[in-house]
A and B are shown apart, each in its own frame.
Chain A
Amino acid sequence: MTRARLNGEHRELAPRSTVEDVVALLSPSPAGLAVAVNGEVVSRSAWSKREIEEGDEIEVLTAAQGG
């Protein structure tokens, strides 16, 4: 298993999970979402290629009421 932090919570992910796999854990649709891994934005076109590594910090954000 690969241990990572997803939106602040410790998660154990299947080996070779990609950003795309992780997003699917949180949301049925990728519309309106953005992902940063270790403080770098991972563009949507790279989600299926970027594998999660041990200790990665993943943030998956969307629009919320504000401002």
Chain B
Amino acid sequence: MADELGPVLEVAGEKLSSALILGSGGIASMELLEETVRASGTDLVTVAMRRVDPGGRGSLLDVLGRCGVRVLPNTAGCFTAGEAVLTARLGREALGTSWVKLEVIGDEISLLPDPVELLAAAEQLVEEGFVVLPYSNDDPILARRLEQVGCAAVMPLGAPIGSGLGIRNPHNIAMITESAGVPVVLDAGLGAPSDAALAMELGCSGVMVASAITRSQDPVLMARGFALAVAAGEAGRRAGRIPPRYRALASSPTKDMAVFSSLPADDRRHLD
């Protein structure tokens, strides 16, 4: 179903075959990661940049290579524009991609983006030729500013990273998607596939999921669930939903009802 509907995500002129971006963090083993990536149908998987562990390395990139997916380095854990820019440069050097998921957080408690540092880092990286996908607050004004400095997409959060609270402010997400000229990818805080469907119904072009899949009891099944939900939400948005209304609107004809004269008067709604 997901494959037939084929929602694609186009970023910086490049088409991804899936609108679901998968985070590789939080999964228990490389074997499970490989199965999960395949079940998700994703084309793009995020990784963090960390110090080399002399004891063991290589298997993450090997797994992603075998799955045939693109690798998207992030700047997770950076608190300043300077740290994020340097981390992005190292990601480009290590992985041979100019795409970066830009994260600049304000503190370790909320993991919310620091908009001032985020915007500064985005501007710098765009100048250096990066394709910047910034993890952002669900703030339409910040999203506009990120687009104006040249970001290839904006990635507003649904809720704090790893919280599983879903989309706390769907009105803001709708405001962002209504005015954005670049793809909007809902990032962070999703808990269940229905959250991903809502994101797509709100006009997002894609959804980024990590913990909700990788930390679920069955990541492979949950990955499939999210893939289906993204397709379902995309179909729902494209199909044009009915406008909400406060009063009922009968879906069966109200004319030509039978008249049951033989029923006692108290049992008859329609009078002849």
Contact = CB atoms under 8 A, between A and B. Distances in A.
Given A26-B54, A32-B58, A36-B86, A63 B95 contact: yes
A1 interface: no
B259 interface: no
Contacts of B61: 31-32, 62-63
Contacts of B26: 65
A36 B59 CA distance: 23
- Interface of B, helix, strand, loop or mixed by DSSP: mixed
Contacts of B73: 63
A67 B23 contact: yes
Contact of A67 (B52, B74, B93): B74
B88 to A, nearest CB: 10
Q: What range describes how many residues of B lie at the interface? A: 35 or more
B33 interface: yes
A65 B93 contact: no
Interface residues of A, number: 25
Contacts of A29: 58
B11 interface: no
A2 interface: no
17 contacts: A7-B52, A26-B52, A32-B95, A34-B89, A34-B94, A36-B90, A41-B86, A41-B90, A43-B93, A62-B51, A62-B61, A63-B73, A64-B47, A65-B33, A65-B47, A65-B60, A66-B74
What are the 10 tightest A-B residue pairs by CB atom distance, in nearest-first order?
Answer: A66-B48, A67-B46, A34-B94, A34-B93, A64-B50, A63-B47, A34-B90, A67-B23, A66-B25, A67-B74
Interface of B: 23-27, 33, 46-52, 54, 57-58, 60-61, 71-74, 76, 86-87, 89-95, 101, 103, 208, 210
Given A64-B48, A67-B47, 5 more contacts: A31-B61, A32-B94, A64-B47, A64-B49, A67-B48
Interface of A: 7-8, 25-27, 29, 31-36, 39, 41, 43-44, 59-67
